[in-house]
Structure 1
Amino acid sequence: MDFFEVVNPHVPELTKNEHLLFDYVVKNLNAIKNKSIREISDDCFVSTTTFLRFVRKIGFSGYSEFTTVIKYTLLNQTIQEKASPFVVSQKDYREEYLKNINESVRVIDTQKLITVAEYLKSKPIIYLFAKGMNKQLMNYAKYLFVAAGFLVVFPDDHPTRKVVQKQITSKDIVFVLTYQGKDEEWIHLMQYLKNKIQPLVVSLTGADNNVVQNMSDINFYVFTDELFLNKMEITSHISIIAILELILYQYLESADDGEYHLVFR
């Protein structure tokens, strides 16, 4: 059994507080696999009864099955990482591709979208940070938010990023896009922002627990299969695009009547 295959049908049924537990579990699978229910309950600041009820609600008979499936899922991921990225047939890969998109959108916490949308109502300056292939996605994000009337700053090289980060104020919003979430530059950036400026920091990362994810005010995570061709990354980023669009659409939905002229065709 795969952890995500078990829990996905139950995610839409979770309450707000259960979504917080689910987010914690997804981000800390590797640590949770060897912890007792009392330890994990203490980490989440809930009772063992509450956590056991949550475990059963997401499809497991008990805590033992919950940790066993997590261990199996992590072990299976490790084995898959050692294999060729195209060990599955094209048809199977298409199915995984669609499943990843569906999972990424399904697990989004609606309250997070609302929080970002409400923050955008104050018309903050939007700062975008990304490297490599992710820069293409941030260019698209810049296009979206400029179209909605925002001032967007997207420094695309390291020297410019060092200058720009000094211009960020506490009223602004910062988006950091990094799948791995372990880049030293982003960690230093977020330490600086958290300690000195305190804008709203929104990260978009992979689902695995990572430093950037944990340092963010709000994190949106995606599921995807990392792919490389001739040592160049060609991992699908379509789920990230979906999240960026949903953030903007949530903002437009909550905007005052007549503020935007939307045409649906």
Structure 2
Amino acid sequence: MKNQSDIEQQALPAGAGSRSPEVAFAASALGATLLAILAEGSTSHKSIADYLLRNQVRVTALGIEELADDCKVSTATISRFAREIGFKNFAAMRSAVAQTLQSVLQPVEKLRNSIARRQDASTPASDSLAYAGANIGATAMALAAADVDAVVKKLTRAKVVYVLGFGLSSHLAGILAAHLQPFCQHVVEVAGHGGTEVAAGHLTNITARDVLVVLSFPRYTRDVIRLTGFARDHGACIVSITDAPASPLAELGDHVLYAESSHPILPSSATAAVALIEALAVSLMASNKANVAKAARLTEAISAYLVGAEPAAGSTDKKRARRGATNNNT
């Protein structure tokens, strides 16, 4: 493990300031140490690392007893954890968290603090809308064009694109599948309304020529992790759409796109995820001339069913002919 001075002195990676707080914190030296523990540490140490990665602001205000209670471990375990990652004690670790957080703090966190200060004037509805706007802003700041382009190339070349989500994420998967359908060779919405058994059946034939786009936000389900692991073991490219580097999907993804999901009341917010799905869809649509032509043909195909749309000339002639035949019969 790195010692305390190494962690405190190492500069943040280039571009960290343009990311959401959770992503930028995870990209710091301290965040990298915590992610390593999250992947390979003991059960109790994983619990502490996960908490630190998800609750940096809160941690800076907690005492050791409160942190131990939240992580469901002993204070002695907290102290051992701090020493094992290179700090003299819990207080030194908490100070490093605060110092790292100060370097990566973004407007979304400032907005949350502002919301807290205006509690008397706010309502649950206004708070929820404020978080939604902040989440979209944080997601936009964290999204790198190169990451989106890499995913678009994988989707374009895939023989089959599988899209997976459970719970509320199943609806997000449905939205994404509908957007991808006209522009990919073949799209399969893995779970649909059938749940785990149907999803497992769809993934049985997944190969290295395919892509699995998997979506999951708090609260995560075990089945989505297990099925993603199955697809990965069979050589498929995994595109994870999730909320933070501490998400269990982050380490499974060949490509990871983050959508901020914080909410003052709900387990997670889907607002930024929908915005990210739309951003990915339009990037795919605009990625080549063939897709632009497909979009035009799709619009033409459905125009007759749209309110206010002008029907095609052939359709108008047929309707007139039918009306004339009806009038003659009467």
Name the TM-score, length of structure 2 as normaliser: 0.53
Provide the rounded CA distance (Å) in 1 between the counterparts of 2:126 and 2:261: 16
Pairing 1:253–2:259 present: no
What are the equivalent positions in structure 2 for 1:163-202 lying under 5 Å apart? 163-180=201-218, 182-195=220-233, 197-202=234-239
Cα deviation per residue 1:135-186 (whole Å; 9 max; x = unaligned)?
A: 2221111111112244111132211112112111111110111103742212
Pairing 1:151–2:189 present: no
The answer (yes or no) to whether the contact 1:174–1:201 under 8 Å persists in 2 is yes
Q: Which residue of 2 aligns with 1:110?
A: 145
What are the equivalent positions in structure 2 for 1:1-265 lying under 5 Å apart? 10-11=17-18, 21=27, 25=31, 28=35, 30=52, 66-67=99-100, 69=102, 88-89=122-123, 90-154=125-189, 155-156=191-192, 157-180=195-218, 182-195=220-233, 197-207=234-244, 209-226=246-263, 235-255=268-288, 257-261=289-293, 262=295
The answer (yes or no) to whether the contact 1:203–1:220 under 8 Å persists in 2 is yes
The answer (yes or no) to whether the contact 2:135–2:271 under 8 Å persists in 1 is no
Distance 1:138 1:24, change over 3 A: farther
Count residues in correspondence.
214
Shift of 1:115: 0.8
**Which structure has the greater CA radius of gyration?**
2
Higher relative contact order (CA 8 A, sep 6+): 1
Provide the rounded CA distance (Å) in 2 between the counterparts of 1:144 and 1:225: 25
More helix by share: 2
The one-letter code sitting in structure 1 at the alignment partner of 2:17 is H
Stretches of structure 2 lacking an aligned partner (at least 5 in a row): 1-14, 36-48, 60-80, 88-94, 300-330
RMSD: 4.2
Distance 1:39 1:201, change over 3 A: farther
Cα deviation per residue 1:60-85 (whole Å; 9 max; x = unaligned)?
A: xx967524659x99xx9xxx9xx9xx
Name the TM-score, length of structure 1 as normaliser: 0.64
Provide the rounded CA distance (Å) in 2 between the counterparts of 1:93 and 1:193: 36
Percent identical residues: 14
Provide the rounded CA distance (Å) in 2 between the counterparts of 1:144 and 1:138: 10
Cα deviation per residue 1:107-150 (whole Å; 9 max; x = unaligned)?
A: 01222111111112214311111112222221111111112244
Stretches of structure 1 lacking an aligned partner (at least 5 in a row): 1-7, 13-17, 41-61
